[in-house]
Structure 1
């Protein structure tokens, strides 16, 4: 029988210490030291990198919650008197702007042996964009405010694309399988906890809805959070990786689209993810329906922010652990849940007219939708990272995100349907998408 050369065993590569002990307790498994699909150097520093990524994602997710285009930015534009067309573009620009350029961004990332600095740059630019939004809140009104805010949102969204590609690749290089879902799960839990406090402050805010001081403070805090995220991510110990495939950004980007033709499991995942966009696209229509039926100003805004934060608080750790066990099943359950939430809301509004003007009804359903949306996000993020290995992971993320960006722009046209259909009908159409996405996800292979 062959005898192994002297050296540390594969399941005992990092030194014992308080961080390592905390890591073992948090993942709560006997094989906490076992590294899967990452190299020995990265395995030695998994605990520290694990917590740094949780901290970074906490900062960015809290910033996202405070500068949320579906809630805070939409209310701010209304307070500034900007035409409704600008509000309609908030979510599509925020999402599509970060996704569409990712094939080219991925080529840049692939040329970097150390990729964390791409994420750091993205955080710094996002901070700049959010601070610009804060200036808009106190200096402009009407159409000028709408144009300036969308311009800042374009910068924010493009910068977010840098972080999206780099973060998934660094996560795959520094945290082993069966642990990655928990990075997002715990960071969303912590961000949700603080977001509830932000929403509670808005509930207690008795100032005139036209007073822009609230938005100035919120956005200034959000800009600071992205600066903190840049600092914490810079501390991650990342080891050099492969740099192949980055010679010509455009040609490499186009060639990688062939993955959709040549890789059936990946193609099926992209289609399923496209249909599961219902969980994100339904949210603004929930809020539009609330505006049609009730009046609320900062009170309603506070309720929605609390609902969003509470959803992350109670669901993210569960979805994170569940994703490590089976990200495919998370996509199925959460996608179907988001669809059924929309169907149930529409049924309630029409079947029980007495509840239709309740200020609490819509945040309650928004809470359920946010729970399932968190599951969809965590499930598909973990699935795509586990589906690919090595440098191929960057291609999978970039191709899928670019396709989803294009789909989002097309799906954003559903807003035009409100001119010929009631908002409840649009919610039902999106619910049908979600049910189809859950059904398609059931046919994906297990990768966790």
Structure 2
């Protein structure tokens, strides 16, 4: 493989070349991405893609002069249990043209990017896996779960009585320009409270608000409402759209929530009260919500909320620096568990002692002591944020318990008050 420091380095695999693209090659890269994502009819968004371009971070596979594979990464911060953040390499826009599959292009791009990320000091790498069986071989494991809901308003009859509200607070609709400013500031405060959350840059808010639109985007301006407390501080935000549908003379509209942020329960109650009381709406769809969100229990009839069909894993994670990653997060109990990790790419390979203290701090250091659990890098990634348990992995034969009771002991250490989740697709 080429030197990860050299942006001009070329790797050769199966007679094909892998290298970083220049800013002048971004249009062709975008065309290859659209083709790989089965959207050849979508026009190239060259100006937008140029804003995403960073030296050495936008890779392509070449067959001669033609780009036939794409890959991009960017730096972000990942919130971990306890509220600290770690530097993360976020991977996206991965595609290989159907005519060039199984020739090592993805492996070459992935290995190149991970090597560069480790050299930059990224503690972990993250991605969203469109297909389950692709990324495990690179040491990634599912690390966050979503828990969306479909709510039948005719059955639930709204929120329970007696829920806490915000005395002196108010909820107001805002413009898209106000959304960009207020939403960005609110998310910056909120993301430090949610394990699994990542940053959002200016471009994310520009696309969400419709200021920047790309070919293929199906933008429909949402209703955007913010909640302020009695002091005027923004404490919550909701974005939703309504599909206008009638059953003869009767309204039968569906409201879909695309964004929901609340810094506390009283704010959430005020925002849900708005969402669940819109005229003409009979169904509310909330595709993206944290797995610990209490929404169904806030309803008069929780059975009126049924799991959303899109629920499942979103962010996959692989550990690049074991000591940095595990030293940053907090832990649920004091103790010690020794892990034997098999990592085919080498970043997490070896025997590690996870040692945690009464105050919730911990460290993971190399040891020669006998191992308690044996697992792969993918399973280590699934355990890191607390979204998965060692006991369940052991029951599924994805982790081997070398000392009886070690899986349960590890779960006590790794347990978190909030399960990992991110609402930000990337």
Same fold (TM over 0.5): no
More helix by share: 1
Answer 1 or 2: higher relative contact order, Cα 8 Å, separation at least 6.
1
Q: TM-score, normalised by structure 1?
A: 0.21
State which structure, 1 or 2, has the greater radius of gyration over its C-alpha atoms.
Answer: 2
More strand by share: 2
